[in-house]
Amino acid sequence: MTADDFASCVLQTANDTVATITLSTVAHHGPGHLGQVTGSDGTLFLSGETKLELGKPGGPLEDISAPDDLWEKTKPNNMWARSFVRLLREMVQVISGGTPQGEPATFRDGWQVQRVLDAIRGGRGVRLD
């Protein structure tokens, strides 16, 4: 059965790091958006739309969240609306002759992401360079 509300995969990088990714839009309990990256040097834990915590070995999680200047200033008040406002701010700045705040994604970046998504969807254990 295929559905657009769930995906799961295991990735292995060139240096043998293993990542397990599980995505679900039907998990209605918990903090909402949830992400966790754990390695030998610690853990990054993202919960909700704005809270980012860092845990170092042997220590507690520490809140390292960045302030959100658009919190409760968009309708609806969600990360997608706030991200769209940021995108348009930067677009206007660049069109007006300014420089981007960060390094914009390139066509090649998008192509590389699509290669990974295609390999995951194919489920064949494809090795990418």
**pTM of structure:** 0.67
Residues 55 and 5 reside in one and the same domain: yes
Domain span at residue 110? 67-121
DSSP 104: -
d(CA 112, CA 109): 5
**94 is a domain residue:** yes
**1 is a domain residue:** yes
Residues 35 and 72 reside in one and the same domain: no
pLDDT tens profile 16-35: 888 888 877 776 666 677 88
**127 is a domain residue:** no
pLDDT tens profile 77-121: 888 899 999 999 999 999 999 998 888 889 999 999 999 889 888
DSSP 26: -
* Residues across the chain: 129
Residues 60 and 103 reside in one and the same domain: no
Instruction: Give the pLDDT score at 28.
Output: 66
DSSP 46-81: EETTTEEEEE-TTS-EEE-PPP-TTTTSSSS-SHHH
